[in-house]
Structure 1
């Protein structure tokens, strides 16, 4: 396997057959062999006229998409000066925007607006990003998927240790799927798959972020790092928002994404990263009455500098995307 072929633009030059061959090798060497892999299929995503071909797979009942790496990914947001002159972005009418940390200074000049964007986005930088397998759908921080279960046959494949704990907690009730089961120790959820009488088994336990990452690591998973989050959400594009530099009159339910990964456009959703002190997305740091306040949290580069639930910020829905990092020893990515 040539690691460089897993990076853009080399990946995009490959034929569908070559991509498929490399993808099957990734699954062989980087996915926990105890986890069932099914439905390996090619896929193509097009956002705003830009198209990228990739591969998808179901791992233990959850769909993952291959995101090619980039040896020199441009992250962070560089204010160009164009954004501060967009009336739609700033709502140049009744409400005066104030910097939440400098409330005595209304942001009325272009220089003040640039300061606002720079204060709440990460600085421009160039970083290496490893190729990734990213779960298409996020999970609430309180939940994790442990494998596939068939109540008719009582067969399970996945995290056997976690399944043993589930069995001890719920006993024969497990075969009553798809009804959710609640116990003092945990809650068990059954997510249907395309296979009849087969469910993705999820458990809900109140685990701190670091404990959750340790549990995920036992199955070979991680969560997005802060840099990986910016790369995946932005699709490798430097625009302020995933859809460009302007605001939208109405946000879609799911943010447009060139890699096909789903990120909620619902306000107050914060993404957990590998850094327990760094959460992405979230909530507007100021009043949230102007377009720029409402929509800036959906920028890939938004950084509120706040932790969820601390201070006067509301507690957002906390989610994470499971990932498998494709990293080679002695590679130069």
Structure 2
């Protein structure tokens, strides 16, 4: 691709283009970088504002999946080596008991890793550790990537990650009692879904509150974020990392690198979390919390209820499940940091535990396209 084109898909040039020119650029991206066998179904101009940052971009639906265009950016500062700097001392102490109780409530009501893993797999409790300022400072730096300056290419990024090793079988409607994909609707599946939604002994009445998530292998259900009367339903379909990557690359997609993921998460802002540095009690209130919202690029990334996200790196994953392992809320929330590093996948040939990891596809807009 020409240098003029690569300039046009990157900031600051992208910001100066007229709306008409941006449409032309997007159409050229789709023509040259998207496999022609894939159907481009919709192109929509959108604006997102989050954490004081605004982005004018496009959402593109490719084969029924939403992607967001993210302009390239040079000289991005990523990583974290500042420990507690910029954070409230109260947020980092054991005194934030009300936030700790909110996390406990969240873990009791929402999707967490222990629901998907075999019993005891993640049985970690460090609440006995005395949390000094030095300990927390070192823990933050040890859990995040190193400070560095990098260039990020323009990207087409899948808006929302998908669970790895789970096959979507349809939306279950609690009103009609039916699955949206009729081919998957069997008496056994419907019965298992209903047993998860209405456990024995709860009673059958119209005012009941359904759980937000349920698991009875090989079935997994989760309440739809946009419509509480719908549950997204999945069955186990385990794959290895090698199989997963091969399937993603089949039509010219790839995985985000660590640098790209961090930029897509926090836009290279010098703050530990994409929304800022403050930890408010409302953090776990779904209607107003940033943990369930689209970020400044329109992505659902480092959000609650998604596990470690697989990237193009053998050593690390990004993001992760929220668990109450320490008394200080800041440590328990580190998996939501823009720079957090999770453990990688050691055995690339072994089947991954269904639903524990998540993944998103990306198309890189660079000179190799």
| TM-score normalised by length of structure 1 | 0.71
Q: CA deviation at 1:247?
A: 1.6
Aligned partner of 1:167 in structure 2 is none
Is 1:120 matched up with 2:143?
yes
Structure of greater relative contact order (alpha carbons < 8 Å, 6+ residues apart): 2
Kindly tell me the number of residue pairs found equivalent between the two proteins: 275
**Residues 317 and 55 of structure 1: CA distance in aligned 2, closer, same or farther (over 3 Å):** same
* Alignment-derived partner of residue 269 in structure 1: 307
Unmatched segments (≥5 aa) in structure 2: 99-123, 169-179, 187-217, 220-233, 348-352
Which of these residues, 211, 214, 217, is aligned with residue 249 of structure 2?
217
> In the alignment, what sits opposite 1:82?
85
Q: 1:32 aligns with which of 27, 35, 40?
A: 35
Q: RMSD across aligned C-alpha pairs, in angstroms?
A: 3.6
**Contact 1:86/1:246 (8 A) holds in 2:** no
Moved over 3 A (4+): 80-85, 91-95, 100-107, 176-179, 202-205, 283-286, 304-309
Call closer, same or farther: CA 1:94–1:58 in 2, change over 3 Å.
closer
Q: Distance in 2 between matches of 1:56 and 1:132?
A: 12
Given the alignment of the two structures, is residue 320 of structure 1 paired with residue 359 of structure 2, yes or no? yes
Partner of 2:6: 3
1:131–1:327 Cα contact (<8 Å) kept? yes
Structure 2 CA distance for aligned equivalents of residues 205 and 101 of structure 1: 31
2:54 is the counterpart of 1:51: yes
Q: Is the CA contact (8 Å cut-off) linking 2:136 and 2:331 kept in structure 1?
A: no
Shift of 1:181: 6.9
For 1:290 and 1:268, locate their aligned partners in 2 and report how far apart those are by CA, in whole Å.
Answer: 22
Q: Is the 8 A contact 1:83 1:89 kept in 2?
A: no
Using the size of structure 2 for normalisation, the TM-score is 0.65
State how far apart, in whole Å, the 2-side matches of 1:58 and 1:291 are: 38
Unaligned runs of 5+ in 1: 146-175, 188-201
Matched residue SS, 2:92 = helix
Q: Deviations over 1:119-149 (max 9, x none)?
A: 111111011211110111211112589xxxx
Question: Against the structure 1 CA distance between its residues 307 and 102, is the aligned structure 2 distance closer, same or farther, given a 3 Å change threshold?
Answer: farther
Distance (whole Å) between structure 1 residues aligned to residue 361 and residue 5 of structure 2? 25
CA distance in 2, matches of 1:83, 1:316: 35
Q: Deviations over 1:78-133 (max 9, x none)?
A: 317534552123333689xxxx9999973323x43321211111111011211110
1:23 corresponds to = 26
Per-residue Cα deviation, 1:199-250 (whole angstroms, up to 9, x for no partner): xxx9973221121111111111112222211111112312100000122322
Partner of 2:160: 137
Conserved in 2, the CA contact under 8 Å of 1:136 and 1:260? yes
Structure 1's 84 and 137: CA in aligned 2 closer, same or farther, altered over 3 A? closer
Secondary structure in 1 matching 2:268: coil
